[in-house]
Structure 1
């Protein structure tokens, strides 16, 4: 049986370097060294011990779930109820199909590709990729892959109509009499889901003849202390005349409501707040948050079903599935007319 020490000897590197490449910890490993290690892995047909034991039962029975999350050094991805819920849904569906789930949080496409090429998995589910990274990943890996909430024409994806759903929410705000609506997101560069939701926001404003100004897109910090200070500044500025703070996720919307209420701000008396996702935070918030609800459990289940179809057929597909959403009006938005 080939060991990590054998790979190190063949590649002329240390066992630690081999281990780093195997586990995707390649920040301090040169591209040349990575290629040498990958070459040794391919030549020896190295398989990790766990995979080797499971292969004796006709395939590894492992589904890899990769969460691309560049901020993992600052905050845990699973802090978000959305990610916690979808991971639970994926694990349940994978186990229900007689497979095992292997979860990894990746910092980017290069690391994800390294993992995909060294893990002995029968299929992969990827969350959080940009369209460009997703297409590169899909073209490079040989096993079936399904993406979740990933925009890109040439990748298989299970998601929702983020743009249409946000358009519907903002249309409702305008029907309530709101004209000054801010869109808040923690994305420094809008891409993927946040971009689609912002486009839906703009669509609604423009349809009603309301100018979508650049300053109405407010970029907030993902760091709690900084974000709280940003909110305090908004309060001091009387919310810059905005009557609605339209957040791109429930996590930040409910966090904002909690902070504002502690500062003596009335919601929706002083300002209205909306979110997107319909997770547990929105359901238990006081007042109940106006949001777009999606069935995250269904998203995980359908993703696994789609992947299993590919595994059983032995080939990759470009299946794209769009699940329904529902507007929840809640009590966090004032009716101005």
Structure 2
């Protein structure tokens, strides 16, 4: 039998079949841990002469082995944590964090205090932050970074910052989506989504670049800034068609959720997709392939993104240099767009 000096919390967690943070909480009789798990961990601790005092020595290091993942939703939005793309990123982050020995604490910017340093780090809720989304303002992120909080952001990698930002090549994504529509014969292409976000600004820049390269001057009236929900896209397309008729033959959507809403509105008006209007989404959520017609979309490698975000966060724990990184994107061509001319 191991002595207290040799038998570690990691050994105890391994025997109990739980994570080290779960074992630590079980030793403290944390009610968030199932009673059966608490009893199992505490019984094993007694059998191996592992005292709560030994666990306390670990607490003095102020490590929780928990990472807070904050969904940085903007004000006045109907977008929620049930958004399929957000869930897709969170699922990949959970796998990457578990592989690194950490648990994920999911929160959002509305639930958490404005002072993320105190709310998550000083209170020992988490060791570091992964923020999903830059939003229109970096104020909360910058405040946490200035307080010395280890953090990584999913957003626009070219944005100057003092913390690492991981994201897709958004300008390339907007460019590829628009080029595909032009190659399919579209000439009046709508941009559906708010360019005020850092990521969307770059996608819009790619959209305009593709238009100009083909002698198509961007029409400001075809850039429609809306919330990132299918309902917002549905309402927007209905309003546009009522007011202006079908004055567009292609749509670049900044998310698949917008593409779903646009598709629904047009199909209800018996507009043929893609013969009359071609639609490209963004993110490649599962629903995009299941719709009729299936939606052409820009895919971001969320698995690669999660691994890079976790890697850059761990480097901060080790005091190693960090950097922003771009993840792979690709165009998934499906039936919502016309074949190239």
Asked if 1:96 corresponds to 2:99, the answer is yes
Counterparts of 1:177 and 1:85 in 2: how far apart (Å)?
A: 33
**Partner of residue 79, structure 1:** 82
1:262, CA displacement in angstroms?
3.3
Asked if 1:194 corresponds to 2:197, the answer is no
**Partner of residue 207, structure 1:** 213
By relative contact order (CA 8 Å, sep 6+), the higher-ranking structure is: 1
**Partner of residue 169, structure 1:** 177
- The 1:301–1:250 alpha-carbon spacing in structure 2 relative to 1, beyond 3 Å, is same
- The 1:184–1:58 alpha-carbon spacing in structure 2 relative to 1, beyond 3 Å, is closer
- The 1:283–1:157 alpha-carbon spacing in structure 2 relative to 1, beyond 3 Å, is same
Query: Which of 292, 295, 302 lines up with 2:298 in the alignment?
Result: 292
1:220, CA displacement in angstroms?
2.9
Residues 211-233 of structure 1 show CA distances to partners (whole Å, capped at 9, x for unaligned) of 11211211234576665333223
SS at match of 2:282: coil
1:319, CA displacement in angstroms?
1.1
Query: Which of 323, 327, 330 lines up with 2:327 in the alignment?
Result: 323
Choose between structure 1 and 2: higher helix proportion.
1
Counterparts of 2:98 and 2:250 in 1: how far apart (Å)?
A: 43
Residues 179-223 of structure 1 show CA distances to partners (whole Å, capped at 9, x for unaligned) of 1101011x3x61211111111101111122211121121123457
Counterparts of 2:94 and 2:147 in 1: how far apart (Å)?
A: 22
Counterparts of 2:56 and 2:210 in 1: how far apart (Å)?
A: 54
Residues 29-63 of structure 1 show CA distances to partners (whole Å, capped at 9, x for unaligned) of xxxxxxxxxxxxxxxxxxxxxx9797268721111
1:74, CA displacement in angstroms?
5.6
SS at match of 2:74: coil
Query: Which of 178, 184, 190 lines up with 1:182 in the alignment?
Result: 190
What is the RMSD computed on CA atoms of the aligned residues? 2.9
**Partner of residue 168, structure 2:** 160
**Partner of residue 235, structure 1:** 241
- The 1:227–1:333 alpha-carbon spacing in structure 2 relative to 1, beyond 3 Å, is closer
SS at match of 1:275: strand
After TM superposition, the structure 1 = structure 2 runs for residues 1-337 of structure 1, keeping only pairs within 5 Å, are 55=59, 59-71=63-75, 75=78, 77-107=80-110, 110-120=114-124, 121-130=126-135, 132-133=138-139, 136-137=142-143, 139-151=145-157, 152-154=159-161, 155-185=163-193, 187=194, 190-221=196-227, 227-237=233-243, 239-311=245-317, 313-314=318-319, 317-335=321-339, 337=341
Counterparts of 2:117 and 2:299 in 1: how far apart (Å)?
A: 32
Counterparts of 1:256 and 1:292 in 2: how far apart (Å)?
A: 16
Task: Report if aligned partners of 1:116, 1:141 keep a CA contact under 8 Å in 2.
Answer: no
Counterparts of 1:265 and 1:164 in 2: how far apart (Å)?
A: 29
Residues 98-147 of structure 1 show CA distances to partners (whole Å, capped at 9, x for unaligned) of 21222211149934345345342322111112574376235423232111
1:264, CA displacement in angstroms?
2.5
Task: Report if aligned partners of 2:89, 2:306 keep a CA contact under 8 Å in 1.
Answer: yes
**Partner of residue 18, structure 1:** none
Unpaired runs of 5+ residues, structure 2, are 1-54
Larger Rg: 2
Counterparts of 2:77 and 2:330 in 1: how far apart (Å)?
A: 32
Taking structure 2 as the reference length, what is the TM-score of the superposition?
Answer: 0.73
Counterparts of 2:120 and 2:299 in 1: how far apart (Å)?
A: 32
SS at match of 1:77: coil
Which has the larger displacement, 223-232 or 95-104? 223-232
Which has the larger displacement, 280-289 or 142-151? 142-151
Counterparts of 2:231 and 2:73 in 1: how far apart (Å)?
A: 20
Unpaired runs of 5+ residues, structure 1, are 1-50
Task: Report if aligned partners of 1:117, 1:141 keep a CA contact under 8 Å in 2.
Answer: no
Which has the larger displacement, 192-201 or 166-175? 166-175
